[in-house]
Amino acid sequence: MSDLNNNFPAAIDFEKGDGLVPAVVQDYKTGKVLMLGYMNKEAYEKTLQDKLVTFFSRSKQRLWTKGETSENYLVLKEVLLDCDGDTLLIKVDPQGPVCHTGNDTCFAEINQQSLLFLNHLQKVIKDRRFNPTEKSYTTSLFQKGINKIAQKVGEEAVELVIESKDSNDDLFKNEAADLIFHLMVLLEEKNMSLNEIVAVLEERHK
């Protein structure tokens, strides 16, 4: 779990909204806005304690944990506070549809994986580099050094080319995913980010 932005509760201006602050809920992987709720101090503290998003229901006048009936919980990943101290951004891992209508979001959008997931993956790869774990394949690549990482990129590229000549789409997609992952590991080893590569593409597009 990401570290929470714990400059609270002093920094949260609960008084501006009569004890409540709006909480924008966002999928931490896809970046999709899922819903809007309200928190008082107690709901916020319960959210941090249980790692499940809890709101204050203005209609029921009580705390309610999202998913307490449907079991479609919102697992807490990160909390951010806006510049005015009166709005929260809650990043979560949703355990099912968020809206009571059965939709993925309360805005009738489909919450699917997007290119924003690459930003999340980039953070995970960086963490494996600087916080190595014994059983992590990514960590093992960094420990073997740039020659091995570069070799893996080459191997995956060849495998993708070979698979492209066949008609098995699933295998092709898996080989493409392997290539992108190992390329991202190589970029991290070179202290480069995906944004730098995108900037090159943008410059070429002008």
DSSP state letters, 49-88: HHSB-EEEETTTTEEEETTTTT---EEEEEEEE-TTSS-E
| Of the listed ranges 16-20, 114-118, 131-135, the one predicted with least confidence | 114-118
As a whole number, mean pLDDT of residues 50-71 equals 95
Contact status, residue 89 vs residue 2, Cβ threshold 8 Å: no
As a whole number, mean pLDDT of residues 28-53 equals 95
Nearest one of 110, 94, 21 to 52, comparing CA atoms: 94
Model confidence at 200, in pLDDT bands (50, 70, 90)? very high
- Where are the CATH 3.10.20.810 domain residues in the chain? 15-94
Residues 165-197 have pLDDT tens digits of: 999 999 999 999 999 999 999 999 999 999 999
Q: What is the percent of the chain where pLDDT is above 90?
A: 83
> Which class would CATH give 15-94?
alpha beta
Nearest one of 103, 124, 92, 121 to 25, comparing CA atoms: 92
pLDDT of residue 1: 40
As a whole number, mean pLDDT of residues 23-27 equals 97
Rounded CA-CA distance 85/187 in Å is 36
**Average model confidence (pLDDT) for the chain?**
92
On the question of pLDDT at 9 being above 80, the answer is no
Model confidence at 10, in pLDDT bands (50, 70, 90)? low
On the question of pLDDT at 7 being above 70, the answer is no
pLDDT of residue 2: 42
Pick the CATH number of 116-205 from 3.40.640.10, 3.10.129.10, 3.30.43.10, 1.10.287.1080: 1.10.287.1080
- Where are the CATH 1.10.287.1080 domain residues in the chain? 116-205
Residues 157-173 have pLDDT tens digits of: 999 999 999 999 999 99
pTM: 0.67
Nearest one of 76, 42, 73, 79 to 57, comparing CA atoms: 42
Residues 63-121 have pLDDT tens digits of: 999 999 999 999 999 999 999 999 999 999 999 999 999 999 999 999 987 787 898 89
On the question of pLDDT at 3 being above 50, the answer is no
